[in-house]
Amino acid sequence: MRIKSYILVITLLLVNTAFGQVREKVSEAEIKEIIELAIELSELQQYFHIDIDSTRVPLIIKEFGTVNSKNLNGLQKFGQQVQVMDELTIKEKKINAYLNIGDWTYGGDNLRLQMDYPVEGITINMRLNRINGHWKIVDSLIIEE
């Protein structure tokens, strides 16, 4: 009987630990702010090549969880609304020029964002910090494959 009591207590503790944790989320307004900072990163601009390839306008971002058309409504790049598409639409339309978010790791006032731009074979890594209620890129690295 005593063993059953211990097992019950341990089970309750494990369930409480697993379900009692709340994962922090970035607000919808902040998502737009973060993506705008990312697509305006000065080192990234040279890879868009909109002057020689008109199919790269408007900028297309592959949907990634809360990075969706609702949260990016009104975001512009190259004078046009940024389009957010799901993977199936990108494949069906045979789109090669799109930004793909590979990782979005958020905790407190820090965010790590990784994107790739397959048409150029690059991966973009950046760290952002929330300072006085606004996000700022504190470190970035573009890797050419």
Residue 11 to residues 8, 20, 21, 42, 82, Cα–Cα distance (Å): 5, 14, 16, 52, 48
Per-domain boundaries in the chain? 24-144
- Is a pLDDT exceeding 90 seen at residue 140? yes
Burial class of residue 96, CB neighbours in 10 A (0-12, 13-18, 19+)? middle
Q: How confident is the model at residue 25 (pLDDT cuts 50, 70, 90)?
A: confident
29-88 pLDDT, tens digit per residue, is 999 999 999 999 999 999 999 999 999 999 999 999 999 999 999 999 999 999 999 999
Q: What is residue 24's predicted lDDT score, i.e. its pLDDT?
A: 65
Beta-bridge partner residues of 142: 124
- For residue 118, say if its preceding peptide bond is cis, omega within 30 degrees of 0: no
Q: pTM for this one?
A: 0.82
Give the pLDDT score at 119.
Answer: 96
Give the per-residue pLDDT at 67: 95
CATH architecture, domain 24-144:
Roll (3.10)
